[in-house]
Structure 1
Amino acid sequence: PTEATVSEAMVKAIGIGFLIVGWTVYDLIVRTPIVRRGRLFAVVSLVLLVASARGLREVMSARAAYIHVGALFGTIMAANVWMRILPPQRRMIAAASRGEPIDPALGAGAKERSKHNTFIVVPTVFLMISNHFPTATYGNRYGLETMAVLIVAGWCAAALLRRA
């Protein structure tokens, strides 16, 4: 299929499916030992993101693909907070209020997801800004490569912010 041959309803379903599958894949990868090898995790993530964006380009415009990758980042950040950061925090607070020992693993998992959110937010802003500069980003023949550069630049900026 191409952008011109896919119905609007199908594109909407693909967009929603992309967010659900994207979160699920991220959540599964984070549960593997790959997450402890930062650079490998980053490379695997980047390859999956660019490949996904390439797939989206088959059925939607370049601008829509950029927006969907940004929406995936937002979905991951929100799901991290609501599903992986707040529930362990509530369990730790409940244990402390009962005078029970707090499981350090709860805090470690939440800290990891919080760190990921820090690294995701800067590329998200870059992708949002890209909509104001279409010829320099999604609107040229190197749109996917530009997206990859924006994501990596965002990760580098986030790394600098984490050190500050």
Structure 2
Amino acid sequence: PDVSKISVPAAVGLGLGLLIGGGIVYDLMMMSPLGRNEKAFAVIAYLIIVAISYGLFRIFSGRAAYIHVGAMFGTIMAANVWMHILPAQKKMIAAIKEGRKPDDALSAQAKLRSKQNTFMAVPVVFLMISNHFPGVSYGDHYSWAILSVLVLLGWIAAKLIRRA
């Protein structure tokens, strides 16, 4: 498909906006009641990912769109670790050292974000591998749909891995 003729600064701004905005939207969803309903969260998150994929393919090349979705997932995963999982772990360790019971809510939230990182990791691997197979990934007119299916297959694979 044709790529829009946006300027380099606009493309950079859009890419950075996706990384930051994607993380903010994810965090807001996690803090909302939706964050406590895994199935509803997954459906809404998937629909957002499909919309982002479609939009990116209207603006960037297929390869760039795949890279941006992978970078968004990677940024969310890193933020989960550094801003939620590790701080919760430090607070729980401090509570134990002080003889207090660790906060169950911290533990549950860290566990959920860790689980979601597992579900994002498999699609990220698919997206990295896709760079070597443009004919069956980003080199097609329906690349956004292929990317959406890869994400869904990644989630299914992660679910199977977590059961093993």
What is the alpha-carbon distance in structure 2 between the residues aligned to residue 20 and residue 158 of structure 1? 25
Aligned residues: 163
Partner of 1:132, secondary structure, is coil
What is the alpha-carbon distance in structure 1 between the residues aligned to residue 33 and residue 92 of structure 2? 24
Which residue in the other structure is 1:136 paired with? 136
TM-score by length of 2: 0.94
| Aligned residue type for 1:59 | I
- 1:19-40, Cα deviation, whole Å (9 max, x unpaired): 0000000011111222333332
Q: CA deviation at 1:70?
A: 0.3
Which residue in the other structure is 1:111 paired with? 111
Which range is displaced more, 4-13 or 84-93? 4-13
Partner of 1:58, secondary structure, is helix
Alignment map for 1:1-164 (pairs within 5 Å):
3-164=3-164
What is the alpha-carbon distance in structure 1 between the residues aligned to residue 145 and residue 4 of structure 2? 23
| Aligned residue type for 2:135 | T
Tell whether the 8 Å contact from 2:15 to 2:68 is kept in structure 1 after alignment. Answer: yes
| Aligned residue type for 1:161 | I
Unaligned 5+ residue runs, structure 2?
none
What is the alpha-carbon distance in structure 2 between the residues aligned to residue 42 and residue 84 of structure 1? 19
- 1:74-117, Cα deviation, whole Å (9 max, x unpaired): 00110000001000111111111111221111111100100000
TM-score by length of 1: 0.94
Unaligned 5+ residue runs, structure 1?
none
Q: Could you say what the CA RMSD is over the residues aligned between the two structures, in angstroms?
A: 1.3
